[in-house]
Chains A and B, each alone.
Chain A
């Protein structure tokens, strides 16, 4: 009785994504699946869920073979999965989403709406979202969506649950809800396969760990027996130790480059007044969806503000709500949401040249493109290859390399390291610092408070469209704890 992956391999064209990977999840066990970008973690999760067919090997669930790749069959055999990119259907209500795998019915033919909502309500109560039953799924906030995804995976009472990068997007209090559900699932004799980049979470939830590197299993250990350094080493990444930032000059020495005045976010009456120095890396922290992203998007010209704020960047005043004009004013936008930044079918070269083509500016030659890419240790087969041939982390590196070439006055980065591994993250951070050293102002959001504390000169903690704390590294007031306590205080006050 266990979930067994036996000698699984998966070949995509010339790429061997998984090579002879075996692992076992016993009832009551939570096994971590750890590795860098493109190591095959997500592919493994998809194979277990039946969404992808393996090229070789077998998945055995409590003695039964999964056979054909069909999510429905995997579910029937007792597998529940949360998808990294979610599986919620935006046109259906939250309740319908939770039960869609096996909705209650009359005579086998008709949906039993009463029972459907009652069942869903019971399940949603466990994640504290029982009042959201009748709401369309896309009305939820990101964290809530991931919790509903979890409730949906648990609805059919699976024997084994696969959790693919779920907690990355959750806020601390939501992670606690997740922990409760996971503990109950394990206590009831269920097993779990937990896919994550975050070592502290792996240690919190898991007892055993399988490490993948380049599609091969490189370690299979009890988690308490290994150190973080071992794990990072196995995953093939470099040390994640933060680069010293002490010897950088304080922001106050530098001229102001970005000025924002009279900006109102959300339903706030009071307006924001912010200024950022040239070469400053400023983070926007706080609970998710408190106006950080809207602020970034207004600066990038992707969202039109409700009122007319005064914004100037390096002396220029871009027309608000016009991304073309923002680009002309030297503002560059980069996002961890690759659906919003990547031309998947176009070549790497074209992806890098897009902003130059759009502005009608001189285009950098191939040599400078390659130089920018090598700064980030990007792995690619050639500039002519389509962007879709790269792993997510490498696509992200291409986009960041594009920012270097543009030499922007203001870089607006929305969760830029979302879903990329420790080594790549360190590369991105180093690059941001280099850019800042050349005078670029960088505004960045992250779902990871540690990252903000690590990367930024200054972090503004936001709550409901207002800045509630301004933590400066120069005065020694910047740390992950300071960020957390700033927004937790707001939480209690609300």
Chain B
């Protein structure tokens, strides 16, 4: 068991609940899936074992039993029993040991995985908290006691391969289903000019500020299905990127769709930072 002593925005996330979109259920899951998988592989967990998605390193907990933990994603300094561990280390917490994270030098979301995974009831096959629909376990709060699951396999003797730090500023983007709704100048602007992340990292979507993208046609688009990483452009011409808890349909045209890796990277861009979209296959 892990006893939570203090927590900012901390959610339990796995790889989400794909397969229920036709019932109006968002996929949800870790905002940076590559980071969750990397942390789990280091501990010998299944790729999708539930872990803690910690915003800006705001977490303090105590191990009530001996556990093995590791951190991936935003490299928040990890202090366990008074000792600071290097990023990516697999750390043994003896029973009674306290773990405290600090603000990471870059990125937004860190994934604290525990060997055996966080053991919580699944909703529609997933332990992910979905901020849009409210499905899944509630946000983690001070005073919570989190059960740890039984380990399922051996711990790897060497670090499993995992991606290094993302370059959050360059996001690979594929042509979207409605790029023909935009002028060629708008497409060129979208693929060359920087955009600034405007608000707090939101799992539903991240708004960007930058040059306005003009439409080549008027009229409204009938709502249609969207995926994580879709870059939708509302009438004000400022794009937004859909995150893991996006609604299953969107009502504005999608100019481009991020690659899976770029969607992961976009989950680490802080408000005020800039991104550029790099075209792939336009």
Physical interaction between A and B: no
Interface residues of A (CB under 8 A from B): none
Interface residues of B (CB under 8 A from A): none
